Amino acid sequence: MRVLTGVGSTPLSGVGAARWYRPEADLTLPDRPDPSAVDAEAELARFGDARDAAREAIRDARDWAAERVGGEEAAVFEAHEQFLDDPELVEDIEATIGDGTPAEHAVSDRFAAAVEQFEALEGPMAERADDLRDVRDRLLRVLLSADAGAVADRPDAIGDLPAGTVLLAERLTPSDTAELDPDAVAGIATVAGGRTAHAAIIARSLSIPAVVGVGERLREIADGTELLVDGADGRVVVDPDAATREGADTDAPPAVTERVSTADGRPIEVAANVGSEAEIAPAADRGADGIGLFRTEFLFYDREAPPTEEEQHEAVTAALSAFPDDRVVVRTLDIGGDKRVPYLDLPEETNPFLGRRGIRLSLDEHRDLFETQLRALLRAAATEGGEGLAVMFPLVSRIEEVEAAVSAVESVAADLDGEGVEHAVPELGAMVETPAAAFLADRLVDRLDFLSIGTNDLAQYVMAADRENDGVAAYHDPLHPAVLRAIDRTASATEGTDAAGTDAWVGMCGEMAGDPELTELLVGLGLDELSMSAVTAPAVKERVREIDSAEASALADEALACETRAEVRDVLGLDGE
Binding mask 444-463 for Mg ion (x = CB under 5 A): ----------x--x------
- β-strand 328-331 against 389-393: which pairing, if any? parallel
Cα dihedral 118, 120, 123, 129, rounded to 10, equals 30
What secondary structure, in 3-state letters, does 215-275 show?
CHHHHHCCCCCEEEEECCCCEEEECCCHHHHHHCCCCCCCCCCCCEECCCCCEEEEEEEEC
For ligand PEP, give the closer residue by CB, 235 or 339: 339
Nearest to ligand PEP by Cβ — which residue?
A: 454
User: Which span sits near ligand PEP by CB under 6 A: 39-47, 415-423, 455-463, 499-507?
Assistant: 455-463
For Mg ion, give the closer residue by CB, 105 or 204: 204
Q: Any catalytic annotation for residue 509?
A: yes
Angle between the N-to-C axes of helices 549-560 and 481-493, in degrees from 0 to 180, rounded to the nearest 10: 130
Residue 333 has a CB neighbour count (10 Å cut-off) of 26
Binding mask 200-229 for ligand PEP (x = CB under 6 A): ------------------------------
User: Which span sits near ligand PEP by CB under 6 A: 48-56, 71-79, 452-460, 553-561?
Assistant: 452-460
- Residues 46, 105, 138, 295: which binds ligand PEP (CB under 6 A)? 295
Give the burial class of 336: count Cβ atoms within 10 A of its Cβ; 0-12 exposed, 13-18 middle, 19 or more buried. buried
For ligand PEP, give the closer residue by CB, 336 or 516: 336
457 near ligand PEP (CB under 6 A): yes
Question: One of 105, 366, 476, 509 is an active-site residue; which one?
Answer: 509
For ligand PEP, give the closer residue by CB, 89 or 293: 293
Alpha carbons 425 and 108: distance in angstroms, whole number: 54
Contacts of 105 (CB under 8 A, 6+ apart): 29, 32, 96
For ligand PEP, give the closer residue by CB, 236 or 274: 274
Radius of gyration over every alpha carbon of the chain, rounded to an integer in angstroms: 26
Alpha carbons 421 and 74: distance in angstroms, whole number: 29
User: Which span sits near ligand PEP by CB under 6 A: 25-33, 120-128, 413-421, 450-458?
Assistant: 450-458
Please choose which of Mg ion, ligand PEP, none residue 229 contacts, taking the beta carbon within 5 to 8 angstroms, the exact cut-off set by kind: none
Please choose which of Mg ion, ligand PEP, none residue 510 contacts, taking the beta carbon within 5 to 8 angstroms, the exact cut-off set by kind: ligand PEP
For Mg ion, give the closer residue by CB, 151 or 465: 465
User: Which span sits near Mg ion by CB under 5 A: 35-43, 427-435, 469-477, 569-577?
Assistant: 427-435
Alpha carbons 354 and 337: distance in angstroms, whole number: 8
515 near ligand PEP (CB under 6 A): no
**In this structure, are residues 261 and 519 in contact, taking their beta carbons and an 8 Å threshold?**
no
230 near Mg ion (CB under 5 A): no
Question: How many Cα atoms sit within 13 Å of 361 on the Cβ side?
Answer: 25
Least distance (Å) between residue 487 CB and ligand PEP = 11
Least distance (Å) between residue 451 CB and Mg ion = 13
Indicate the residue type of 390. A
Please choose which of ligand PEP, Mg ion, none residue 426 contacts, taking the beta carbon within 5 to 8 angstroms, the exact cut-off set by kind: none
Least distance (Å) between residue 456 CB and ligand PEP = 3
Q: Any catalytic annotation for residue 105?
A: no
179 near ligand PEP (CB under 6 A): no
Question: One of 198, 313, 366, 476 is an active-site residue; which one?
Answer: 198
Ranges within 485-514 binding ligand PEP (CB under 6 A): 509-510
Binding mask 319-348 for ligand PEP (x = CB under 6 A): ---------------x--------------
Least distance (Å) between residue 536 CB and ligand PEP = 14
Q: Is the dihedral of CA 54, 55, 61, 64 positive or negative?
A: negative
Contacts of 471 (CB under 8 A, 6+ apart): none
533 near ligand PEP (CB under 6 A): no
Least distance (Å) between residue 568 CB and Mg ion = 22
Least distance (Å) between residue 391 CB and Mg ion = 16
Number of residues engaging ligand PEP in binding (CB under 6 A)? 10
456 near ligand PEP (CB under 6 A): yes
Give the burial class of 250: count Cβ atoms within 10 A of its Cβ; 0-12 exposed, 13-18 middle, 19 or more buried. middle
For Mg ion, give the closer residue by CB, 214 or 396: 396
For ligand PEP, give the closer residue by CB, 282 or 337: 337
What secondary structure, in 3-state letters, does 142-171 show?
HHCCCCCCCCCCCCCCHHHCCCCEEEEECC
Least distance (Å) between residue 138 CB and ligand PEP = 31
- Residues 454, 507, 524, 526: which binds ligand PEP (CB under 6 A)? 454
Binding mask 420-449 for ligand PEP (x = CB under 6 A): -------------x----------------
Least distance (Å) between residue 208 CB and ligand PEP = 17
Helix, strand or coil, per DSSP, at residue 31: coil
Least distance (Å) between residue 201 CB and Mg ion = 10
455 near ligand PEP (CB under 6 A): yes
Indicate the residue type of 82. Q
- β-strand 210-212 against 7-10: which pairing, if any? antiparallel
Alpha carbons 342 and 347: distance in angstroms, whole number: 11
Distance of CA 1 to the CA centre of its chain: 34
**In this structure, are residues 430 and 448 in contact, taking their beta carbons and an 8 Å threshold?**
yes
Going by C-alpha positions, the residue among 271, 275, 283, 287 that lies closest to residue 200 is: 275
User: Which span sits near ligand PEP by CB under 6 A: 13-21, 176-184, 216-224, 454-462?
Assistant: 454-462
Which DSSP string corresponds to 395-450? S---HHHHHHHHHHHHHHHHHHHHHT------EEEEEE-SHHHHHTHHHHHHH-SE
Interface residue list for Mg ion (CB under 5 A): 433, 454, 457
Q: Cite the active site residues.
A: 198, 509
Interface residue list for ligand PEP (CB under 6 A): 293, 295, 334, 433, 454-457, 509-510
